[in-house]
């Protein structure tokens, strides 16, 4: 298996530190606001990566943090009349609510900065003892000139770093690129803790170094996040961690590409932030996950509702056609037919070959659709059973294509119809009663009245298809 390592910018064979085990740390949310679709793309991408590592037989230790101490949290808490702790708790709960819709792998550890102050203080002590930091009026800064490898992750010159990055200005710094390890307390309402150099709170970058090393060791396998974290956050993590330990911090750095809206990065100033709750008003969670996975995790992604509608149509057609093929082949789910068929052959090999090339979901999922086309052309029940068995392996490897009854007991088609009913203010039961009424009208040859019911149901995005087995509801796309 190969991965493209941001450190060095090359594709490398993946070799974990401990055979059969992988430690992975993904930077989580700074909880001063709700999660948006840019965050979600990162978390979905790493969910697929983690699932695939497990599929390959690795035992994965997955850590994702909450940054619950930050200047933005303090500022927003003041505006909302809350304590920093209350505000952070509010957005942690909203994050958990939002992310619960997407069936992502839960972290083995989900540390909060506020619960790891002692670890952070000890790490800062080590940095100071080795001469890589300095104290000014209770603030502690990292001295980047003391670390010769500064810039090795981003590949940026110091001039470029100063020109285009999020660097906090301070007259206390020896070098403008030096960064805060500890911030002294300035106001009474700020969260603060005691430290040998004075009361205050940790800087942003030191938090992730301390928490990742606590749970995964001083050198671990994979560190990930969005591409915007390469500099300064991850660059600074490397500098402070390796200065403290004298060891390589992380072997493989993986970063998810930018997500843009109409060519612009999402930002509050542009007013183009899209929160998760808004997207879920109009689209099934699997549609959103599928849209992300259709492009390589490292590639930039232009996010739009048109993209989601296109992928929604693809999934609706795929799932509906698959369910119809299963009915036509008289596949009995309860009989255990599917469980007896092994997922073997060219389809699975082609799929894993693509996934082994830096988790290339874009090409891997094309195997799913081309395989289904071949199966439909063959008309063989046995081929269809083999395809469903293959699809179960794809689900196990990526978390996608789960919404058919043989895999998860759920039907994407049924769930999407019910979601559209709820959005329009109807219960699914009310729609079923309307369908029964329409069938009665058709039996009475009152076709005009029956057609009015069909049109009414179509207005909520549900298409009625009359078949010899009865009327079926399909999401209209």
pLDDT of residue 166: 64
CB 363 within 8 A of CB 356: no
Rounded to whole angstroms, the Cα distance separating 87 from 121 reads 24
pLDDT band at 412 (very low <50, low <70, confident <90, very high): confident
Provide CB contacts within 8 A for 342, sequence distance 6+.
389
Q: In this predicted model, what pLDDT tens digit does every residue of 199-241 receive, in sequence order? A: 999 999 999 999 999 999 999 999 999 999 999 999 999 999 9
User: What integer pLDDT is reported at residue 339 of this predicted model?
Assistant: 61
The whole-number pLDDT of residue 468 equals 82
Render pLDDT for 148-203 as a digit per residue (tens, 0 to 9). Answer: 999 999 999 888 888 765 667 788 999 999 999 999 999 988 999 999 999 999 99
> What does the block give as tokens for 103?
């069936």
Pick the CATH number of 305-403 from 1.20.120, 1.10.10, 1.10.3470, 1.20.1070: 1.20.120
Mean pLDDT of the 96-114 span:
97
Give the pLDDT mean for 415-425.
Answer: 91
CATH 1.20.120 maps onto the chain at 305-403
What is the C-alpha separation between 64 and 108, in angstroms, rounded? 8
- For the chain, what is the total number of helices (H) and then of strands (E)? 17, 15
* C-alpha distance from residue 181 to each of 41, 72, 88, 124 (Å): 29, 17, 21, 7
* The pLDDT of residue 409: 64
- To which CATH superfamily is domain 2-256 assigned? HUPs (3.40.50.620)
Q: Cα 373 vs. chain centroid, distance in angstroms?
A: 29
Q: Is 66 exposed, middle or buried (0-12, 13-18, 19+ CB in 10 A)?
A: buried
Closest by CA to 181, choosing from 202, 156, 165, 166, is: 202
Tell me 185's DSSP state: -
* 270-282 pLDDT per residue, tens: 788 999 999 999 9
Q: Is the pLDDT of residue 108 over 90?
A: yes
Widest CA span in the chain: 90
Alpha helices (H) along 246-341:
276-280, 285-293, 305-328
- Beta-strand relationship, 21-30 and 59-67: parallel
* pTM attached to this predicted model: 0.93
Q: Supply the pLDDT for residue 260.
A: 92
d(CA 25, CA 248): 15
pLDDT per residue over 358-401, tens digit each?
999 999 999 999 999 999 999 899 899 889 889 989 999 999 99
Boundaries of CATH 3.40.50.620 in the chain? 2-256
Q: What angle (nearest 5°) sits at the alpha carbon of residue 140, between those of residues 135 and 142?
A: 105
- Beta strands in 370-410, from DSSP E residues, in sequence order: none
Instruction: Give the pLDDT of residue 165.
Output: 58
d(CA 82, CA 112): 19
Who contacts 226 (Cβ-Cβ below 8 Å, separation ≥6)? 27, 38, 39, 41, 42, 255, 256, 258
Provide the mean pLDDT of the chain: 93
**Do you know the residue count of the chain?**
477
């Amino acid at each position: 298996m190969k991965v493209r390592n941001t450190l060095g910018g090359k594709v490398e064979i993946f070799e974990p530190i401990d055979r059969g085990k992988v430690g992975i740390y993904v930077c989580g949310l700074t909880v001063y606001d709700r999660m948006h679709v840019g965050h979600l793309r990162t978390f979905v991408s790493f969910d697929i990566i983690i699932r695939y590592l497990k599929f390959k037989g690795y035992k994965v230790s997955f850590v994702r943090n909450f940054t619950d101490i930050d200047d933005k949290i303090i500022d927003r808490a003041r505006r909302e009349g809350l304590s920093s702790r209350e505000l952070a708790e509010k957005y942690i709960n909203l994050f958990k609510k939002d992310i619960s819709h997407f069936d992502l792998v839960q972290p083995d550890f989900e540390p909060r900065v506020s619960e790891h102050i002692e670890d952070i203080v000890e790490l800062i002590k080590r940095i100071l003892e080795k001469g890589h930091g300095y104290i000014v009026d209770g603030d502690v800064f990292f001295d980047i000139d003391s670390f010769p490898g500064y810039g090795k992750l981003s590949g940026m010159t110091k001039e470029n770093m100063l020109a285009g990055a999020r660097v906090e200005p301070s007259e206390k710094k020896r070098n403008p690129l030096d960064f805060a390890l500890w911030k002294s307390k300035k106001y009474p309402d700020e969260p603060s803790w005691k430290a040998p150099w004075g009361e205050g709170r940790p800087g942003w970058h030191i938090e992730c170094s301390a928490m990742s090393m606590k749970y995964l060791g001083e050198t671990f396998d994979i560190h990930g996040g969005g591409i915007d974290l390469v500099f300064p956050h991850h660059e600074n993590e490397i500098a402070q961690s390796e200065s403290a330990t004298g060891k390589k911090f992380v072997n493989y750095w993986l970063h998810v590409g930018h997500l843009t809206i109409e060519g612009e990065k999402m930002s509050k100033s542009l007013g183009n932030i899209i929160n998760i709750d808004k997207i879920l008003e109009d689209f099934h969670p699997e549609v959103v996950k599928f849209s992300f996975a259709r492009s390589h995790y490292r590639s930039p992604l232009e996010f739009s509702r048109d993209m989601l509608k296109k992928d929604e149509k693809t999934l609706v057609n795929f799932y509906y056609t698959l369910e119809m093929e299963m009915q036509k082949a008289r596949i009995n789910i309860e009989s255990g037919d599917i469980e007896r068929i092994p997922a073997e052959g060219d389809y699975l090999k082609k799929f894993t070959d693509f996934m082994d090339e830096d988790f290339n979901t874009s090409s891997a999922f094309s195997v799913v659709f081309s395989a289904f086309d071949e199966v439909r052309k063959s008309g063989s029940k046995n081929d269809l059973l083999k395809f469903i068995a293959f699809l179960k392996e794809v689900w196990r490897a990526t978390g996608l294509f789960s919404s058919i009854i043989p895999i998860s007991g759920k039907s994407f088609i049924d769930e999407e119809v019910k979601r559209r009913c709820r959005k329009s203010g109807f219960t699914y039961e009310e729609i079923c009663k309307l369908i029964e009424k329409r069938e009665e009208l058709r039996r009475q040859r009152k076709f005009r009245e029956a057609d009015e019911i069909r049109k009414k149901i179509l207005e909520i995005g549900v298409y009625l298809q009359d078949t010899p087995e009865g009327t079926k509801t399909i999401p209209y796309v």
